[in-house]
Amino acid sequence: MLRTVANRSEWIFRRSLNKFSRSALRVLTTRTLRNLSTSSSQKHVLTTISSCQPIGVCATNFVRAYSSYPDHIKVPLPALSPTMETGSIVSWEKKEGDKVNEGDLLAEIETDKATMGFETPEEGYLAKIMVPAGTKDVPIGKLVCILVQDQASVAAFKNFVDDSPPIATAAKPAAMPPPSPMPPPPVVEPSVPPTVVEPSAPPSSKTAPRAAKPITAVEQRGPRVYASPMAKKLAETQQLRLEGAGSGIYGSIKSGDLADKKPVEVKPAKDKELVAPQGGYIDIPVTNVRGVIAKRLLESKTTIPHYYVTVECQVDALLKLRAKINKKYEKEKVKVSVNDFIIKATAIACRKVPEANSYWMGSVIRQFDNVDVSIAVSTDSGLITPIVFAADRKGVVEISKEVKELADKARKNKLKPHEFQGGTVCVSNMGMYGVTQFAAVINPPQSCILAVGTTNKKLVANADSEKGFKEISTMYVTLSADHRIVDGAIAAKWLQYFRDFMEDPSTMIV
C-alpha cells in the first residue's frame, strides 16, 4: 500500500513539474517572438541573443520547434523496471489521431522483466507514432510518440522528423594490439658435421596427435641418448629430436651436431567437419524476458550455494477442509485450491522461522516483517513471479481470489511492475503437471524457494482398520535454500512447521 501511494505521489509530482516547465517555456517563447517582431534590424536580434547566451540558445531552439509545429508533448520511452536499459514495442493500442485520456493504455512494451502496458501520461490526441510496432531494442529516453492538445493539430505532425541528438551509449574499450612476435632463437654454427637421423614414423591415424610441445632428452623413445646441457637446451628450443650418436665423448650429442637437423613436424589435429543435422530447424530469437531469465538463473546457480531438503506431507485433512470451504462459498463462486493452502502455510512457516524470510545483501542479512510470497506462473513469454503481499495476514479465500487475478494478468501481460518485483519467499508448484518431485532454483536475492509436487494416494498400515491398512493422500515438497543464510537445521525446522500446517490446517490460525 505504501509503495503504491509513493509511486502515485511521485507520478503526480512529475506531472506537475512537466506542466510548470511547459508553461514557463510558452511565456519565454511569447516574449522572444515579440522581441523579434519589434527589432529594427538583424544585428539587434543577434546582439540581444548573444548578450545572454544561456537564455538566447534556449529561446532560439524553442522558437524553432513552436514556430513550425503547434504546442505538443514529446513522449520518450520510460524505464518500466529498475534494470531496464532497452525495450521492444510490441503493439500500439491507439492509432494516430485517436483521443487519449490520462491513464489509457497507449502501447505494449516488452521490457527485461515482462511485457507491460504503457499508460498515456497526458490527456490529448496521439499525433505521431515515431517508433512502429515490432521495433526491438529501443533505448530508454528515445522519442516514441507525440501528443497534442487538440485534434486540429494532428495533421501538422504528419511529416514530423525527430531531430534530437541520438542517445549516448557507453564507448567500448579499444581493442588491445596483438603482441609483437618473438625473435627466432640464434642458430649455432656447426664445427663438426652432424649425424642426420630421420624422425620416426608418425603415429597411426587411429591415435589422435597431441598438441605440439618441446621435445627433450627425457621424452626420447628407445635407448638412452647422452647429450650435453647445451645440446638439450638447443633441442628444446628448436623442436629437435635427440637420437643416434654424436661427436662427443662416448658418442654423446653436442650442440654442433644439431646444426643441420630439421625440426620434427607435428601436424595439428584436423577439425571435424560439421555435419548438417538431419531434417530442418528454426532459429528462435531470444526475447528480452527469456534473456533476463537465463541471466538470473545462471547467476543464481553459480553464486548461491543451493542445497535441498525434502519431506512428505499427508494432506487428507487439508483436502476435506478444502471441500468444505468450496461447498460453503459455492454461491459466491469461490473455489479454493491446494496451492492456496500451500501459500498460506509457506507464509506462516516463514513467520515461525524468519531466517527463511530474508535477503542476502552482502554485508548484512535483511529479515522482513511482512511475508510476501512470490508464485511462479508460466506464460507464453516465460516465467514470471507475481506476489501475494502480506500472505501471512490473509485467509485462504482472499489468497485464492488474489492468485487467480494475478495469474490472469500475468498470462495477459497486464502486470504492473510493483506486482512482480520483490517478494521475500517463492513457491513453485508443478503438481498440476503430474510432477511427483523436483528442486527449484532460488530467485535471488531471496533465500528459499519451495517446490511442490502432485498429490498421490498410497496405502499405509493401520491397526484400527479391519483390513489392516488405509489409503492416504500425500505430496512431496522440496525446499531449496541458500546455505549462506539458512543452515540445514533451520531448513529442517521450517519444513517441520510447514508439514504440520499442511497435515492439520487448523494449526495455521493458532
Collapsed DSSP state (helix, strand, coil) of residue 191: coil
- N-to-C CA span, the chain: 26
Task: Tell me if the pTM is above 0.75.
Answer: no
Q: Which three cell numbers stand for residue 35?
A: 522581441
39-43, 292-296, 337-341: which is most confident: 337-341
From the CB of residue 332, how many other CB atoms can be counted at a distance below 10 Å?
9
Alpha-carbon distance values, 266 to 205, 212, 234, 243, 273 (Å): 13, 6, 18, 17, 21
Has residue 186 been placed in a domain? Answer: no
Q: Give the residues across from 110 on adjacent strands.
A: 88, 115
Of 157, 173, 189, which marks where a domain is finished?
Answer: 157
Contact 397, 420 (CB under 8 A): no
Has residue 76 been placed in a domain? Answer: yes
Q: What is the C-alpha separation between 293 and 444, in angstroms, rounded?
A: 12
Verify that 243 and 331 share a domain, yes or no: no
Note the pLDDT of residue 11. Answer: 59
Has residue 206 been placed in a domain? Answer: no
Phi, psi of 468 (to 5 degrees): 85, 5
**Which element (helix H / strand E) includes 472?**
strand 469-482
Average pLDDT of 319-330? 92
Q: What is the C-alpha separation between 29 and 478, in angstroms, rounded?
A: 66
**Which element (helix H / strand E) includes 45?**
helix 42-51
* Domain housing 222: 217-258
User: Which amino acid is present at 108?
Assistant: E
Has residue 275 been placed in a domain? Answer: no
Verify that 307 and 232 share a domain, yes or no: no
pLDDT tens string 385-402: 999 999 999 999 999 999
Any residues with CB less than 8 A from the CB of 223 and at least 6 apart, and which? none
Under the banding of pLDDT at 50, 70 and 90, the label for residue 32 is low
Verify that 367 and 254 share a domain, yes or no: no
User: How large is the C-alpha radius of gyration of the chain?
Assistant: 37
User: Which amino acid is present at 57?
Assistant: V
From the CB of residue 410, how many other CB atoms can be counted at a distance below 10 Å?
22
Active-site choice (380, 418, 483, 504): 483
Note the pLDDT of residue 392. Answer: 93
Has residue 346 been placed in a domain? Answer: yes
Q: Is 44 a known active-site residue?
A: no
Verify that 153 and 243 share a domain, yes or no: no
What CATH number does the domain containing 81 carry?
2.40.50.100
Note the pLDDT of residue 222. Answer: 55
Verify that 379 and 230 share a domain, yes or no: no
Verify that 248 and 295 share a domain, yes or no: no
Has residue 471 been placed in a domain? Answer: yes
Has residue 115 been placed in a domain? Answer: yes
Under the banding of pLDDT at 50, 70 and 90, the label for residue 165 is low
Collapsed DSSP state (helix, strand, coil) of residue 93: coil
Q: Is 306 a known active-site residue?
A: no
What CATH number does the domain containing 316 carry?
3.30.559.10
Active-site choice (112, 271, 487, 500): 487
Best CA proximity match to 145, nearest among 111, 112, 98, 110: 98
Verify that 299 and 246 share a domain, yes or no: no
User: How many domains in the chain?
Assistant: 3
Verify that 300 and 240 share a domain, yes or no: no
Verify that 367 and 486 share a domain, yes or no: yes
Verify that 350 and 236 share a domain, yes or no: no
High-pLDDT (> 90) share of the chain, %: 34
Give the distance between the most distant pair of CA atoms in the chain: 114
Helices 42-51 and 53-68: crossing angle, nearest 10°?
120
Best CA proximity match to 162, nearest among 137, 127, 133, 136: 127
Alpha-carbon distance values, 116 to 102, 380, 420 (Å): 17, 14, 11
What CATH number does the domain containing 223 carry?
4.10.320
Note the pLDDT of residue 190. Answer: 43
Verify that 295 and 245 share a domain, yes or no: no
Has residue 190 been placed in a domain? Answer: no
Verify that 404 and 339 share a domain, yes or no: yes
Note the pLDDT of residue 189. Answer: 44
pLDDT tens string 215-272: 444 444 556 777 878 888 888 887 787 777 777 777 788 877 777 776 766 555 555 5
